[in-house]
Structure 1
Amino acid sequence: MHDIDTPTNPALPEFWTQPDPQAAFAAMRQEGAVHWHDEPSSSWFPEGGRGFWSVVRYQELVEVSRDQDTFTSAHGTEIVDMTPEMVHIFGGMLNMSGAAHAHHRAIVNRVLTPRTVEALSDTIRAHARRCIDRVVDKGSCDFMQDIVGDFPAQIICELLGVPADDRPRLVALTGTALSAYGTAEAYDAMLEIIAYAEELVARAREQVDDSASFLRRLLAAEVDGQRMSDHEIAVFFALLVTAGIETTATSIGQGMYALSLHPEQRRNWQEDFHRLAPRAVEEIVRWVTPVMYFRRTATRDTQIAGQPIAKGDKVVLWYTSANRDERAFERAGELDFERPEEQHVAFGGGGPHFCLGAVLARKEMTIFFEELFARLPDIEVSGEPVRLHSNFVNGLASLPVRFSPA
C-alpha cells in the first residue's frame, strides 16, 4: 500500500517531484495492471480533465499497443483532451491511426532509412568530440549543460538542414514543447516550430540543385502516387525535432547516471566496448525510458486484464512502469548489460507506432559513449542529479561530473 503522504496520481505535478516516482508505479503494479486516475485542476492543466485509465504492467501495455483497432492514437497521445487541430499540431502522424498513419509512415520510411543514419556516422562522431572537447581541460562540469547540451540537436539540425544561427532558438522551443507537454505553453512552442519548418521547407523546395538533402528527398518521396504536403512535412519536422533532441539527450544523461549506480556494468562496457555496445544501449534505454507515456482512446467497449473500459475512455500507457515490471524483467530496477534480449517498450510496445527514430538514437548513443570513454575514461558523477519536472520526458536538468583534465 502507499504511504498516506505519497502522491499516487500521475496526473498531478507533485507526483513527479516525489523522491522516487518509480516506487509509486511499483506499488500500482502490485495492486493491478490497470488503474483509474482522476484529472483534477492543476498548475499544468488548470481546466482538469475527465480522467483516464493507467496501464502499468508490461504484458497489458504491449497488448494495447498492438491493437490500434481497439485503442487508437487518432484522438491524441497526450493525457489532456485537445481539439482536432491541436491533436494534429502536437503529433502529426504520431496522432494518426489506420490507413492515414500507414501512408505517412511509408513515405518517411523511404527517406529516414538505416543507410541515411549510417551516412551520418562521421557527423555524429564529430559533434560528440566537439561536445567533449569543450570541457576536457576543466576537470569538472555539468554533464547535461556542458557536454550533452546540444549534441543530439546539432545532429538533427544537420539532417534537416537547419542553419547554425537558427539552432539555439529551435533547441529552446523543443525543451518547452516537451517539458510542458500538452499545455498551452507547449502548444505555442509547437506552433512556432512548425511555422519555422514551413519556411525551411519552402526554401528547400526552391533549392533544386540540393536534391540529396533530407527535406528535398522528403518532398519528392511518394507512395501510391501521393506525396506529403509542405505543411505535413513541417509537422513531421516538428515531431522529428522534438523527439530527436530531448529524448536522446535524456537517454545519454540518465544513462551516465545509471552507470554511476552500476559501476561494474560501466567497467565491463569500457573493457569490452564494441561487444557490449548493442546490449548496453538497449538496456540503458529500457532503464531510462526517456518518453514515459503515450495515450490511446478506446474505440469500443472492451476490457484490459478484466477491467471494463468504455468506448471513448482514455488509456495511458506508462512505458516507464512497464519497463520496470518484475514480471517481464528479472531484477528490473538494475542495469545489466548481459541481460537476455527481452523486448523493452521504450521505443513503443510494438505495433504500428514503433519509434521511427530508434536507429538514429542507437547510433548517437553508441558513438557518444565510445568517444566519452576514449577521451574522459575516468569521468564520474560527483553529485545528485536534478530531474526535469515533467510527466512526459524522464530528463535531467543537471548532472555534476568530474574527471582528470586532458
Structure 2
Amino acid sequence: MKMQSLRRRILLAFIASSALAASLFGLSTIIFAYHTEDQVFETFLKAEASYVEQQLASDTLVTPRLTFASYYKEISALPQPIQTSLLHAPTRNEFALDGGRHFHLFRLSKGFLLADVTEQLVVRQMRQQLAVFLFTLLLIVVLCSAGFAYLLARRVLKPLHQLTRVVDSTGQQSAMPLTASFANDFSPDEIGRLAQALQKSWQRVAEFIGREQQFTQDVSHELRTPLTVVQGALTLIQHSPLTTQQILLVQRLQSAQLQINQTIETLMLLAREQLPAAAPVKLLPLVEQSILQQQAKLDGKTVKLQLDISVQSQLTMDENSLLILLNNLIGNAFEHTTSGVIGITFQHQVLTVQDSGSGIDASIREQVFESGVKGQSSQGMGVGLSLVKRLCDKWQILYQLHSNNQGTCVRLQFPD
C-alpha cells in the first residue's frame, strides 16, 4: 500500500483551509465595497431628493445640485433602456447599460431623480489594484499558514516518527529483542499511550511465539523417540517369517509412520519464518507415492483413478511440503468418494484433484480452509485443508475449491 505522509496531509489541510478563508475574505471584501458604494449613492440621492421635493413644493423650476443627477417628470421622459427595464421590474432602482454606463434611480412624489454615476464608480476604477491586493494577501496567508503547519506538524509528529522507526526496526530485524521499556521514551499523551499498548502487545506476541516454538520443538522431539522405536520394531518384524496379510499390515504401518515423519517436518516448517530451499521436483513420482500412502482409504470401494500428468512435469519447491499437499488433497478425495472417478491432472502449472463424492456441506464451503471446520461425516479433526492453505500461502500457490452434490474439485496454481 502506498504510504501517505501525515505531515504532507497536515500541510495540505492548512493550506487549503487558509486559501479558502482568504478567498472568502476577499469575496466578502469586494461585496462590502460594492455595497458601501451603493449606500453612498443612496445617501446622496436621498439628500438630493429632499432638496428637489422642496423645489416641487414651492412650484419652482427643479434644478438638482448634483451635476450628475437629472430630474424627469414622467417615466416616458427617461432614457429608453431604463424605461424598458422598468416595464419588466418596476421596483428596480439600479441600471447597468451598454458602454459601461451605470445609473441610480430615486422615485419622487412627482417624477424621478436619475443619477449617472458612471464616473463616480470608485470600486470599478480600483478593481485591478484591489485584485492585486487580495491576491497578495492570499499568497501571504497561504505562505504563513504553510510555515506554521510545517512547524506544528514537525513538533507534533516527531514522537510519532520516533515510534514508527521503532516499529520498522523491529519488523525488519525480527530477531532483535524488543526493549521492555521503549514506551517510557514517549510523553504521557496519546502517542505515549499508543506506544505502551504496542509494547504490551509485542511482549504478549513474543511470549506467545516463544511458547509456540518451544511447544513445536518439544512435540517434535518427543514424537521422534517413539517413532524411532516403532521403525526399529518394524524393521525387525520385516526380517521375521510373515504371512501375506501380515506383510500388508507391516507395509501399511511403515506408510503411516512415514506420513507421520513428513507431518512433523511440515509442522516444523510452518513454525519457522524462513522457507527451506526450493529445488526442482518431479511431480508424477510424488503423486504416485501419495496414492500408495492413501490407498487404504479406497479399500472396498469401486473407484476408478485417472492420472493425466506428464513424466516430465516438475515443480520448484520443497519436496516434503509438496507431498503434504498431495497427501491431504488425494487423501480427502479417496476418503469422501465411495464410487465413480477420481481425476488427478497437471497442465499449465495447475494441479487439479477432482472426485465424484457427495461434496462438501453447503454450510461450511466458505470456511472449509479454516482450522477445525469439517463436515458432519468427517472422521478427521478439520485441519487438512487448513494445512493446505497455510502451505499454499507459504509457497505463494493460488488455490480454488468448487464443490456440489456431484463432487469436489480443488485446483492449485503454482508460480512459474
TM-score by length of 2: 0.18
Higher share in helix:
2
TM-score by length of 1: 0.19
Q: Greater Rg, structure 1 or structure 2?
A: 2
Select the structure with the greater relative contact order (CA < 8 A; seq sep ≥ 6): 1
